[in-house]
Structure 1
Amino acid sequence: MTRNAPPRPRLNRDRVLRTAVSFADEVDIDALSMRRLAQELDVTPMALYKHVADKEALLDGMIEVIVGEIDPPLTGADWRDTVRHRVLSARRALQRHPWAREVIESRSRMTPPVLGYLDSVARGFLDGGFSPDLTHHVMHALGGRVWGFTQELFDGSRASASAPAPSPEQQAAMYDQMAAAFPSLAVVASSAAHSGDVVGRGCDDDFEFTVTLDLMLDGFERMRAHGWTSVAALSSVAAGRPAVGAAL
């Protein structure tokens, strides 16, 4: 007597997207294609197009999955804790999926879930007493940091991710060369521990990200408390005064 094979899980959009995310995590985002994803799901490529229109729609949907991993807004907290919590949660989500930053930066349009996340961050500022004008400018100031990432000054990790790590002897020689040619930069770069080595393997660790985020949030609060507006700032610039300093 032949046993019937267990039925395959029903194919739906959520399963397609989560399988794509898992594939990108475990294999590589560059290796992901509609045909390869169909193989992972054991379906024909045409079956996928019932759930995602094309590769771009697939990538949009994968980012929606990542957005769904970001913690919801805090309740009963002040604006600073609310925004800080959301940004750091977004950072943790992207750290679980290292390919997500590249995909986010490649998007030419924003889907409703992405807009919903950005809307919730903006709402955190507005509910905290920020004017729409100031909220507009602080959101620009946050930039990619609202997703938990930033291009750091000493970060060479993205360009050299596939390069072998230098040996301790090579690191020492590189540092000696930098110290001889650029002594001030060498002192600054070697002043604290980083997530990588001192010379060019990446300084964007969680501590540095959080310190910078806290500095920005403190600055935003001072601007809010002093009633900063872009009109006043432009007037200050026209008069030859610092835009922020004049308001504070």
Structure 2
Amino acid sequence: MTAWRGLALALSWLTVLPVRAGTGSAPAAGVAAAAIRWAPVVGALVGAVSGALAWGLVAAGVPTLVAGLLGVAAGVLATRGMHVDGLADTADGLGCYGPPERALAVMRDGGAGPFAVVTLLVALGAQAAALAAVAPLGPAVATAAGALAAATGRAGFAWCARRGVPAARPGGLGASVAGSQPWWVAAAWWVLLAAAAALLVPARWPGVLGVAAAAVLVVGLSAHTRRRFGGMTGDVLGAASELGVTAVLVVLSAAL
């Protein structure tokens, strides 16, 4: 029962779908932990839609880069922009001077500083250009690439929320899931996704390399943000997701 409630919560948290999780304002710790484990499945659904949309637009005669941008935009809208917001806030927090308290205050501010703007331009621009390169390869490839990238990005949640990493501040999504995951959950997801990529993505190795690159980036991000912020936050989860998505799409676009 907890697992299915976790899936409902993951859909409610991570998409705009009107799913009723039935957990109230403060979900039980077990349900919140289960939602993190379901996140890659939810991500795969969002990514598949983005990839299919990009292919459909290219097939309809839309310029490839425009199709890539619109495919990425669809994914942002489907997630209420929460992951890109987390990436922006994390970039500003890492870019400021001062102790962890200062960085966390910058992240709470809500505005977009220069680090956030540049990071979003590079990450979303790279995603759009990469999706534009993959979309003309056909509906199966575009859909699989989008699903793989988004699922891999959300698999990073489990690593950032692994046991031994505290919440950097009380309250919010980060505090509700910090330390909730055994370390092997993220590793298992990365291995599973790499295996799926070897079967579903043409030429096999590009997908595997994309998943591996994403895993390396997320491990590095988690280590750095733990030192810099004193733990993890919900914004770090968003940053991990977008880094993973970008890594997979860029590697696929370069190798396919």
Question: Structure 2 length as normaliser, TM-score?
Answer: 0.27
Q: Give the number of the structure whose residues are more often helix, by fraction.
A: 2
